[in-house]
Amino acid sequence: MLADALTRCHQDRVTGTLRVLGNAGGLFHLRDGVVIAVDSPGSPGADTLLLSSGRISAEDWTAALVESVGTRSVRAALVARGSIGSAEVEVVALAALQDAAFAVAAGDIEQCVVSGDSAEVTPLAVDEGIGPDLLLSETARRLDVVASLPVPVSPYRDRVVAVSGVGVSTAERREIVAHATGRRTARDIAFAVGRGVYPVVVEISRMLSEELLEIASPATSFSFSHGDLTSLRPRAEVTEVERPV
């Protein structure tokens, strides 16, 4: 469904957005039929990748957002501040775009809606854009890689927990272990560590096969706790009951 919609947008040289409804869902920003940016709740955006890697500071990002209100280009404002080069933004924006396309394709897709209205603010966009053919083939390749991993990991469903007492070697792995509380999915961990969801899924699969992580039990993933409220209405009666001091 996504491939059809993107290909049609390319043929019609759409400038606007393709909204993918679903979970995680996402928003493809298009210019003359090529994809210039993709936003998805399933993957950290280019801003998160830039901030978490320390390439830009939170102050620069906030200032660039303010300055871009008139020009509508956060990217131009960011580069104008001199904190980062245009080429570096391009690389990160392209990585975020491909990661978001993967995040959309790996989730449930209910509906695709094309809008010619370009009122949506485009996030950090890739200058030249990327044609749907190239984007779709790269996305399919990533889905294949994830499907053939030694331990399959669903980025949205499997919640992972660190195996206690096992040491990990690299800083990236230590960061994943620190966030693997059993409540978080691969997607949640990707946001917490500020890395792409695709590399995090691949790394988590390897760590599962090396028994550094394990899939958490439902009791760990969902920890319900409740007080002794018996009902909302008879609260007055409860207060009359003798309570231990």
Partner 1 sequence: MDYDALAVELRWLRENVTGVTDTVIAASDGIPIIADVAKNVEPAHISALAAADLGIARQAAEVIGLGALTQTVVFGTEGYMAVYAVGRMSLMVALGDKGLNLGRLLHESRPVVERVSSILTS
Query: Among 20-28, 74-82, 115-123, 136-144, which window interacts with partner 1 (CB under 8 A)?
Result: 20-28
123 binding partner 1? (CB under 8 A): no
Q: Which CB sits closer to partner 1, 169 or 231?
A: 231
Q: Which CB sits closer to partner 1, 87 or 229?
A: 229
In the sheet that 108-115 helps form, which strands lie side by side, from edge to edge?
34-39, 26-31, 16-23, 108-115
CB atoms within 10 A of CB 168: 18
Task: Give the binding-site size for partner 1 (rule: CB under 8 A).
Answer: 32
What backbone phi and psi angles, to 5 degrees, belong to 19? Answer: -95, 125
Query: Among 66-74, 141-149, 202-210, 225-233, which window interacts with partner 1 (CB under 8 A)?
Result: 225-233
User: d(Cα 105, Cα 17) in Å, to the nearest integer?
Assistant: 17
The DSSP annotation for 61-112 comes to HHHHHHHHHHH--HHHHHHHTTSS-HHHHHHHHHHHHHHHHHHHHHSEEEEE
Q: Which CB sits closer to partner 1, 7 or 220?
A: 220
Contacts with partner 1 in 66-105 (CB under 8 A)? none
213 binding partner 1? (CB under 8 A): no
User: d(Cα 154, Cα 159) in Å, to the nearest integer?
Assistant: 9
Q: Which CB sits closer to partner 1, 16 or 131?
A: 16
What is the pattern of x (binds partner 1, CB under 8 A) and - over residues 147-166?
---------xx---------
User: Cβ neighbours of residue 133 under 8 Å, at least 6 residues apart?
Assistant: 10
Min dist CB 24 to partner 1, Å, is 4
Beta bridge partners of 31: 34
Beta bridge partners of 19: 27, 113
Question: Site for partner 1 (CB under 8 A): which residue of 58, 171, 236, 245?
Answer: 58
237 binding partner 1? (CB under 8 A): no
191 binding partner 1? (CB under 8 A): yes
Closest listed residue to residue 185, CA positions, set 42, 48, 27, 20: 42
Tell me the CB-side half-sphere exposure of residue 65, using CA atoms within 13 A: 10
Min dist CB 23 to partner 1, Å, is 6
225 binding partner 1? (CB under 8 A): yes
Closest listed residue to residue 1, CA positions, set 75, 110, 84, 156: 110
Question: Site for partner 1 (CB under 8 A): which residue of 125, 160, 192, 204?
Answer: 192
Min dist CB 178 to partner 1, Å, is 12
Residues that bind partner 1 (CB under 8 A): 23-25, 40-45, 48, 58, 107, 156-157, 181, 183, 187-188, 191-192, 222-227, 229-233, 235
